[in-house]
A and B are shown apart, each in its own frame.
Chain A
């Protein structure tokens, strides 16, 4: 009788050839099968929330853009919505359409980028090269609309910074035709490709119940049949003025998540076309002169899920508190459900399937004392300690 193989720990990172960012995964494996997963992040923590509290509202738009390079429209969108909620500002219709166009172009480029990376992770570099080649026309349109390939700097509290000239509509629509053709080709090619099918189907399954339990968002949740999309559930931007569908797949594996993203590409193109058709002339911003004291929240349906921003103001030039919750913060812990029981070769793909963005996630740093666990206090213990100190001081008086 053969003995069952020993447990081994395989460290993966913090600098691994396939990981763009620094993060550490420790996989406990028995033979080929992963039994436990532990991850450590914090390498990308740049204390953005603290910096935000020292900047003015206009400067923060540029700062939150740099939380993540791929979501560089989503984070400012969440932020300006929070401030607009706080200051009760109305946005001109034209500005809303321009915001939506840039947002959907960002979704297109993010999903195509993910498709390429997924191909790279399974060693199918043809998909990587073609996916990224198809992404280039999207970046060209973004450059046409906003002036830069990445970091668009489009958003401003009260509107947008730059107008979209009417002379550009035709060129943008022509370029969109080109992108649409390629996206449709990908959408038709992936289900027919034997390599992709065999590597993606049945891998890293996250059931609907698990998706709900771990609080996943965006394509990760929708790939598991959990019908959630903040763009439809809490309408913002121009999403309730245009006709589009939420893409949901049932099977919960990596293949489902791929198909959700590829189908969303087509929806994005549909939304951009309608936005350009329905565009109305008019001003592109309402000037905001003062931010009153108070609190505001803003959500936005980023390519990876719901981005949430909270801003508290005391009426001065900069916020007293700015809190960010990126979608990867919810999606990354679901690894514990989807990676266990997988073979080690499939784990990387499962990790990549939620499109994790660690530079978004790392908002805070928790320092755990190494000597003993007793030094970690629960809120109740803290409260008790505080009350005891008051009692001691009173006794001394």
Chain B
């Protein structure tokens, strides 16, 4: 890792901006993500913020099994995110496609799609259906440590 990359990674850790991609989740993970940003858990105090476009993001938060319609948008979103970036496979569906594994319209897990785009990608897994807010905050800390 050269000094430029180290500097970029150091920069991300201060205030990670998150772009959320729903690749066919049941909404529950999405609600819990928003819940973490709301007054009781308030992850925004750590500088974590949801942004409107992957071009502004440092972390790509992917919830849901990857369905046929969302595979290409997910690839596009990953490509648009400035590197270095972290990918978080969120919830049981994000980690392993969960209960929808056998669905005829489900194309595979988040890590398979991302690894096809970039074998070196940094991927963290947050299991749970849905993950509890405490688990999400702990995952945020671990993701930043991995960078």
Contacts and interface: CB of A to CB of B under 8 A. Distances in A.
A45 B105 contact: yes
B27 A357 contact: yes
Given A48-B103, A129-B39, A20 B30 contact: yes
A36 B130 CA distance: 37
B40 A136 contact: yes
Contacts, number: 116
Contacts of B68: 45
A337 B130 CA distance: 36
B13 interface: no
- Interface-centre pick from A20, A48, A54 (highest chain B CB count, 10 A): A20
Contacts of A129: 38-39
Contact of A69 (B26, B40, B132): B26
Interface in B1-58: 21-32, 34-35, 38-40, 50-53
Interface stretch (B69-77, B118-126, B137-145): B69-77
A54 B30 CA distance: 28
A388 interface: no
By secondary structure, the B interface counts as loop
B35 A50 contact: no
B31 A43 contact: no
Contact of B104 (A15, A50, A359): A50
B75 to A, nearest CB: 13
Nearest to B34: A132
A47 B106 contact: yes
A46 interface: yes
Given A43-B67, A66-B99, A136-B40, A21 B30 contact: yes
Given A45-B24, A46-B65, A69 B130 contact: yes
A15 B28 CA distance: 17
A196 interface: no
A21 B27 contact: yes
A14 B21 CA distance: 10
A44 B67 contact: yes
B129 interface: yes
Contacts of A357: 27
Interface residues of B, number: 40
Contacts of B38: 128-129, 132-133
A317 interface: no
Contacts of B132: 149
- Interface-centre pick from A63, A128, A149 (highest chain B CB count, 10 A): A149
B28 A133 contact: no
Given A42-B69, A46-B65, A133-B40, A68 B34 contact: no
Contacts of A72: 26, 28
Interface string A60-74: 001100111110100
Contacts of A45: 24, 67-69, 105
A22 interface: yes
Contacts of B129: 66, 151
Interface string B104-121: 111000000000000000
B22 A22 contact: yes
A274 interface: no
Interface in B47-106: 50-53, 64-65, 67-70, 73, 77, 98-100, 102-106
Contacts of B22: 15, 20-22, 43-44
Given A46-B24, A51-B102, 10 more contacts: A17-B50, A44-B24, A66-B99, A113-B31, A128-B38, A129-B38, A129-B39, A132-B39, A150-B31, A359-B25
Interface of A: 14-15, 17, 20-22, 42-48, 50-51, 54, 62-63, 66-70, 72, 113, 128-130, 132-133, 136, 149-151, 357, 359, 365
Interface of B: 21-32, 34-35, 38-40, 50-53, 64-65, 67-70, 73, 77, 98-100, 102-106, 129-130, 132
Sorted from nearest, which 10 A-B pairs have the closest CB atoms? Answer: A69-B28, A17-B52, A69-B27, A132-B38, A47-B103, A133-B39, A43-B69, A69-B26, A20-B30, A46-B100
23 contacts: A15-B73, A17-B51, A20-B27, A20-B30, A20-B34, A21-B27, A22-B70, A44-B67, A46-B106, A51-B99, A51-B103, A68-B27, A69-B28, A70-B27, A129-B38, A130-B39, A132-B34, A133-B39, A133-B40, A149-B32, A150-B130, A357-B27, A359-B24
